[in-house]
Structure 1
Amino acid sequence: MENKVSTKNAMAIIAVALVSFSGIMAETAMNVTFPVLTRYFSTSLNSIQWVTTAYLLSVTIMITTSAYLNKRYNTRYLWLASLIFFATGTLVGGLASNLPVLLIGRVLEGLAAGISMPLMFNLIVQLVPRSKIGVWMGIGSMVVSLAPSFGPTYGGALIDTLGWRSIFFILLIVPIISLLLGWRTIDNSEETQANVSFDVLAFGLLSVSLITALILINQLENGTVNILLLGVTIVSLTGFVIRSLTSKQTFLNIRLLSNSKFLFLLLPVVLYMFANLGINLLLPNYSQKILNTSSFWAGFSLLPGTLLGGILNPYFGHLYDKHGDKTPLLVGNMIFGISLLVMAYFTKNLGIIAFILMYMIFTFGRNMAFSIGMTASIDELSRDKKTDATAILQSAQMFMGALGTTVAALYGAQKSGLAVGFQHFLWLLFFISLVIFIMFFARQKTGNK
């Protein structure tokens, strides 16, 4: 029985994963609504992309608190809090009559995902036997990687039929399903640390640096650098690092970044998230505006690759359990890089079917390296460091996802046009794949699993 996951534990993990999956799916489902929302709210694409960026930023900031939250509060309390945030945010988003209200709804949904995502991975670490950790971390990675790609298909189908508000209203069934699965399976039996103190100053400094960094990058569309924002970002980030290294209060244990094996997996994992959310923003918009497809087909362009990656993620985890991480990481990144090279070089010659096929190859390679990289980065650490590692991984992923969305929007808004901007962004991602190879080889020199 030691090598099996009980039905109760599996249902507990799924109940939490549902909130994470639905929140992320709603985030990218909104990408295909951007042309509609720009007309509805009479604003620009660069303003509308904050529907995605605000969500990712709130997820990122909330995830940074997860190490503290998991020590201070029990799993059941955190799970119920995430359900309340998700239901409230989804309702607010569906009823929004203007852009600021829509952003408030997205922020509340982001807080829900910011609680549930690290909670899901922490549950996997706590409840799953060591011999099955790869498969179940693969399932967790599937939630993180599958949802962003599945969202555009979900959104595209609804916006052509029931309208953009239905994207939110239909998701209100998720808290109900999660309650049914988790009410009797998620308990509050684990011990908590009532005397642990939260480092408010470190949290505030990091939050300020993340917010100002994204705003700074977003304003590059104007062709100038906001010196004030740049100064605030640098000062607050520096203050955060100094505070984290000297404070005895609980927040993020950034000393983990001195572990080169962890660092050389963390960076590729977050760069894969940057690539995934960036291309998920531009490809549906490129399909609609350049290839003249419908909203449904724009969203559908991501679905086959999404399903392929989702189905194979547990298998990638099985590969890790049996053979370790060295070869799958290199093979996955090679496939990832080749797909980007082909799409970047032949952008103007590819139709919707060709892009669908290339996105399938892109997702196959990315998911293989992403899933195994995230599993190995946590699995190699001692148990007392896993919660902090999960918090760092998840918060960095979400920030890089927000950054990917922001940068992709800037490329899409280039004066030379969306077609050229999309191609330039693909070349950027290809260059990133080469950098990732360097990091994987550097990690191998420090020793392997």
Structure 2
Amino acid sequence: MDEKVSTKTALSILAVALVSFSGIMSETSMNVTFPVLSKLFNTSLNTIQWVTTAYLLSVTVMVTTSAYLTKRFSVRTLWLTGVIIFTAGTLVGGLANNVPVLLLGRIMQGVAAGIAMPLMFNIIIANIPQSRIGTWMGIGSLVVSLAPSFGPTYGGALIDSFGWRSIFFILLIVPIISLLVGWRSVAHTTPAKLTQKFDSTAFILLAITLTAALLTVNQLQGGQINWSLFSVTVVALMVFIWRALTSKQLFLNIRLLLRPRYASLLLVVGLYMFANLGFNLIGPNFLQDIQHTSSFAAGFSLLPGTLLGAVLNPWFGRIYDLKGAKLPLYLGNFIFLLSVVVMALIAQSMTLWVLIVAYIVFTFGRNLAFGNGMTAAVADVEVDMKADANAIMQTFQMFMGALGTTVAALYGAGNAGMVAGFANFLWVIVGVALVNVVLLVIHFKSKVV
């Protein structure tokens, strides 16, 4: 039976989604400002890209707490906290007169998005009937996939007309709309009565691991590995795993990673985020630096594909409801692979309009597989572990997005030049699509635990 979703539930999802959307959109809207900010603050592309990476890292670290926060606080409390922090961070970013203050504002925006994004999916998982879960997870993934691609157009239009600060100030409209939509609809849910404390030690260890890992990758621009940072990453990761498996306090249930069906799709979804956010950085910068397009045109290059993905995402989720996961995942990855191979082969002669068409195909394939990958990953998990599964999924996505941004910036700023860097990064994405084929086979051949 096709059960209905109440208006109150739909509005509560929308209210939280607005915070998620604006947070993610603010991330990629800054990508087209990098040439301007590099000159303004007299710094390199690889340094200024931390305006994006610091945001993604703060989202990643914050999302790790979502399973605990969902159990500890009501949905309404978390939503209002996200709105307040996002508003404050947006003001700080818009008023910044140097890179450290700008980074502070971006980190605050990241904390807000790190609260709102998993909260949105948790509301969907907890309140949407099983017969509609694919469609509504598709709507949720629409936010995750639409916002990063819509951002460059938004940022490009504003920076050409009103300057980079307007990117922040105009976003202040969004929390106001979220409050209007959600004030009567976002529920005062009753938090669980927890007998266990939050495992702050495990949280700190994971935060150190993620930060050190990104710093290690960022340092590769010098042509060598920073072994000190690499050692910190490895040691912190090993201690975190030991702590997570032995502690009686609450944080993340990483035992889910031992389940092949869940772990394989976790990697698939994370690799799509790596590819998407990496391309969203290097694509517009390639157009500005090599094709000498305006900031607006470079940002606009991603918009047609983005809008198509937005329109089709709920339909992609409906395919999951009707046909299951196999068709959309395999078909989506094939289309994604085909688009990236073509772009990689013609990268050196890529024009604005060719990139627009290629990105439409890129987004069609990626979105078809991405949203349904998230739905299928959580589908097999027991009800009492779904919050953990969602938290791990969102954490890994954001980390891989930050990694994709960092790697793309390294290729763009490399000694080989932007043209070769763009082509080489596209071949990296081809490798991502091929790895995903193997991971999908593992998922569908593994038994449900």
The residue number in structure 2 matching 1:153 is 153
Superposition map of 1:369-408 within 5 A: 369-408=369-408
What are the Cα deviations for residues 358-402 of structure 1, in whole angstroms up to 9, with x where unaligned? 000000000001011001111221111110000000000000000
Deviation at 1:267, TM superposition (A): 0.4
TM-score scaled to structure 2, two decimals?
Answer: 0.99
Counterpart Cα distance in 1 of 2:316 and 2:364: 10
1:194 offset after TM fit, Å?
A: 4.3
The separation in 2 between residues aligned to 1:84 and 1:252, in whole angstroms, is 26
Question: Equivalent residues in 2 for 1:144-293 (5 A)?
Answer: 144-293=144-293
**Gapped regions of structure 2 (runs ≥ 5):** none
8 Å CA contact 2:244, 2:254 repeated in 1: yes
Identity %: 60
Q: What is the distance in 1 between the residues matched to 2:216 and 2:349? A: 35
- Cα deviation 1:99-130 (Å, max 9, x = unaligned): 00000000000000000000000000111111
Distance 1:312 1:24 in 2: 20
Mapping of 1:57-72 within 5 angstroms?
A: 57-72=57-72
Q: CA deviation at 1:447?
A: 4.5
8 Å Cα contact 1:335/1:361 also seen in 2: yes
Measured against aligned partners, the alpha-carbon deviations of 1:144-185 in whole angstroms (never above 9, x if no partner) come to 000000000000000000110000000111111111111111
Structure 1 runs of 4+ off > 6 angstroms? none
Distance in 2, matches of 1:136 and 1:221, equals 41
1:427 partnered with 2:427 = yes
Whole-angstrom CA distance in 2 between matches of 1:227 and 1:192 = 43
> What is the Cα deviation at residue 72 of structure 1?
0.6
| In 1: Cα distance, 2:49 partner to 2:202 partner | 28
- Contact 1:326 1:448 (8 Å CA) reproduced: no
Aligned counterpart, 1:73 = 73
After the TM superposition, which residues 111-126 of structure 1 pair with which residues of structure 2 at under 5 Å, given as runs?
111-126=111-126
Q: Say whether the 8 Å CA contact 1:29–1:151 is kept in structure 2.
A: yes
Q: What is the distance in 2 between the residues matched to 1:328 and 1:85? A: 37
Aligned partners of 1:138 and 1:313 also within 8 Å: yes
**Aligned residue identity for 1:433:** A
Aligned partners of 1:213 and 1:230 also within 8 Å = yes
Q: 1:39 corresponds to which letter in structure 2?
A: K
Contact 1:71 1:196 in 2 (8 A): no
How far off its partner does 1:93 sit? Answer: 0.3
State the number of aligned residues.
449
Structure 1 counterpart of 2:156, one-letter code: G
Indicate yes or no: 2:36 matched with 1:36. yes
Offset from partner CA, 1:5-51 (integer Å, 9 cap, x none): 11111000100000000000010000000000001111100010000
User: How far off is 1:442 after superposition?
Assistant: 1.7
Q: Do the aligned partners of 2:70 and 2:191 also contact (CA within 8 Å) in 1? A: no
The question of whether the paired residues in 1 share the 8 Å contact of 2:196 and 2:248 is answered with no
Query: Match for residue 25 of structure 1?
Result: 25
* Corresponding letter in the other structure for 2:433: S
Given that 2:344 and 2:423 are in contact with CA atoms closer than 8 Å, whether structure 1 keeps it comes out as: yes
Check conservation: 1:16, 1:120, Cα contact below 8 A.
Answer: yes
- Residue 83 (structure 1) aligns with: 83
2:133 aligns with 133
Aligned to 2:417: 417
User: Hey, what's the Cα distance between the residues in 2 that align with 1:88 and 1:151?
Assistant: 20
* Contact 2:92–2:104 (Cα < 8 Å) also in 1: yes
Unmatched segments (≥5 aa) in structure 1: none
Aligned AA for 2:207? S
- The CA deviation string for residues 292-336 of structure 1, in whole angstroms up to 9 with x for no partner, is 111110000000000011111100100000000011111100000
